[in-house]
Amino acid sequence: QVQLVESEGGLVQAGGSLRLSCAASGRTFDLRTMGWFRQAPGNERKFVAAIRWNTITYYADSVKGRFTISRDNAESTVYLQMNSLKPEDTAVYYCAAAIGLNDYNTPRSYDYWGQGTQVTVSS
């Protein structure tokens, strides 16, 4: 089993920055892919970014160039640095972890999920 604990999100003005972290514990050596998804009210959960065990990264078009995903394997932690935030980035952000190397942008590919953290961007 794997447990994922996300850092607290927050309220930030448009154009600002915020960094989320997700600490994994348990059988972390099984994890091949870590990802971030987000869900706004009334919407489905959407892919934001993912990073493979070999540090290859993937981003949704909507965040490319503004968000950066990284991981610290020694600390079993993944980060999401969010810059140039926009009001449309407002959502609950979820950390996810997968044992396999399936589609990185599909929620069903992930085996474990964090509890979610609210990010609100004011205009």
Residues 6 or more apart in contact with residue 58 via CB below 8 angstroms: 49, 50, 51, 104, 105
Q: Note the pLDDT of residue 33.
A: 94
Q: What's the pLDDT tens digit per position in 16-70?
A: 999 999 999 988 878 889 999 999 999 999 999 999 988 899 999 999 999 999 9
Which segments of the chain does DSSP mark as H helices, in order?
none
Q: What's the pLDDT tens digit per position in 98-123?
A: 998 889 999 999 999 999 999 999 99
Q: Note the pLDDT of residue 120.
A: 98
- Check: CB of residue 121 under 8 Å from CB of residue 87: yes
Quote the DSSP letter at residue 82: E
Q: What's the pLDDT tens digit per position in 79-100?
A: 999 999 999 999 999 999 999 8
